[in-house]
């Protein structure tokens, strides 16, 4: 292990990021009156938030910082592309987007990580995505933080994996091995017409929590938790909301072999928006 990697690994011990993350979640979920309004206004200015696209523009309606951070957008602010197999689930920056080879996904140049470890350690779960494709999208604090369905599908299983809360910025991505399999994450498996789809919501430093419409806010726990669902219980249309982050983090999408190719727009460093084409459909010819 290099000195840089060793220092990053030691960060969790020297600076209790999980404790700071829990504290951050507590404070940002509390109605603090004038202080909350001060934080929101400073945040808007610091991150140049586009107020024109926000559904609720009256800042006084946001009683906590997270009320604003997880703000909804106006109808039509993110057009959904139907001329493709699947769309981006979030706004953000593409970290990596490529094929899954020998059960490994690229984290950064010279670093990769295990597909099986990412989805919870079950070989049957990871086998569905062997030789398939993946997209890793990083959400900065300035991004819209709700997560949406890439295409029509039904939820069949979730796995919550407790973990660390390392920052997922460029420094850690390029120097900390297996970052995405170290951090807390919620792994969501869907059945779709193109085949199995997995959406992994990865927590990070100061991510107050992950929430979903079927389970509410995910409670942190010591052990892995698996939930199975009847295929007809939770049906989602393309573009429907399936979760949110109460601060910046990462979403990783996985799909199987021959389920569709990546859009040419999804390359490392590209800025993407929720609803734009992510998986090509070769049967659709756009003139």
Walk along the chain (287 residues) and give the pLDDT tens digit of each residue. Answer: 443 344 344 444 444 444 444 445 556 778 989 989 998 999 999 999 999 999 999 999 999 988 999 999 999 999 999 999 999 999 999 999 999 999 999 876 667 889 999 999 999 999 999 999 999 999 988 999 999 999 999 999 999 998 776 665 555 556 566 777 788 899 999 999 999 999 999 987 655 578 999 999 888 777 899 999 998 899 999 999 999 988 668 999 999 999 999 999 999 999 999 999 999 998 876 54
| Alpha-carbon torsion angle 18, 22, 24, 27, nearest 10 | -160
Query: Are 64 and 180 contained in the same domain?
Result: no
Query: Are 63 and 91 contained in the same domain?
Result: no
Which residues are catalytic, by number? 91, 148, 249
Q: Note down the domain range covering 24.
A: 14-69
Query: Are 64 and 97 contained in the same domain?
Result: no
Q: Is residue 39 part of a domain?
A: yes
Query: Are 116 and 252 contained in the same domain?
Result: yes
Q: Is residue 79 part of a domain?
A: no
Query: Are 125 and 56 contained in the same domain?
Result: no
Contacts of 38 (CB under 8 A, 6+ apart): none
Angle among Cα 90, 39, 240 to the nearest 5 degrees reads: 20
Q: Hey, which residues does 100 pair with through a beta bridge?
A: none
pLDDT score at 12: 47
pLDDT score at 21: 45
Query: Are 59 and 171 contained in the same domain?
Result: no
Query: Are 94 and 24 contained in the same domain?
Result: no
Report the chain's C-alpha Rg in angstroms.
18
Query: Are 159 and 230 contained in the same domain?
Result: yes
Query: Are 24 and 119 contained in the same domain?
Result: no
Query: Are 131 and 250 contained in the same domain?
Result: yes
| Alpha-carbon torsion angle 115, 121, 126, 131, nearest 10 | 30
**Number of domains into which the chain is organized:** 2
Angle among Cα 44, 49, 55 to the nearest 5 degrees reads: 105
CB 250 within 8 A of CB 210: no
Query: Are 28 and 120 contained in the same domain?
Result: no
């Amino acid at each position: 292990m290099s000195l840089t990697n060793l220092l990053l690994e030691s960060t969790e011990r020297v600076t209790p990021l999980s404790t700071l993350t829990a504290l951050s979640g507590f404070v940002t979920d509390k109605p603090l009156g004038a202080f909350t309004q001060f934080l929101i206004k400073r945040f808007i200015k610091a991150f140049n938030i586009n107020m024109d696209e926000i559904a609720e523009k009256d800042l006084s309606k946001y009683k906590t910082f997270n009320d604003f951070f997880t703000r909804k957008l106006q109808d039509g602010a993110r057009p959904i592309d139907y001329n493709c197999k699947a769309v981006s689930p979030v706004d953000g920056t593409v970290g990596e987007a490529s094929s899954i080879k020998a059960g490994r996904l690229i984290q950064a140049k010279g670093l990769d990580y295990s597909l099986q470890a990412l989805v919870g350690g079950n070989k049957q779960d990871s086998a569905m995505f062997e030789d398939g494709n993946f997209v890793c999208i990083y959400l900065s604090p300035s991004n819209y933080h709700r997560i949406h369905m890439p295409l029509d599908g039904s939820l069949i299983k979730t796995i919550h994996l407790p973990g660390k809360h390392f920052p997922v910025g460029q420094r850690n991505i390029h120097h900390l091995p297996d970052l995405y399999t170290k951090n807390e994450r919620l792994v969501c498996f869907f059945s779709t017409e193109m085949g199995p789809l997995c959406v992994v919501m990865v927590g990070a430093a100061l991510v107050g929590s992950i929430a979903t419409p079927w389970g509410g806010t995910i409670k942190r726990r010591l052990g892995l938790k698996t939930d199975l669902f009847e295929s007809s219980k939770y049906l989602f249309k393309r573009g429907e909301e399936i979760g949110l982050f109460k601060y910046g983090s990462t979403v990783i999408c996985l799909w199987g072999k021959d389920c569709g190719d990546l859009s040419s727009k999804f390359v490392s460093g590209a800025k993407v928006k929720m609803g734009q084409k992510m998986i090509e459909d070769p049967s659709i010819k756009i003139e």
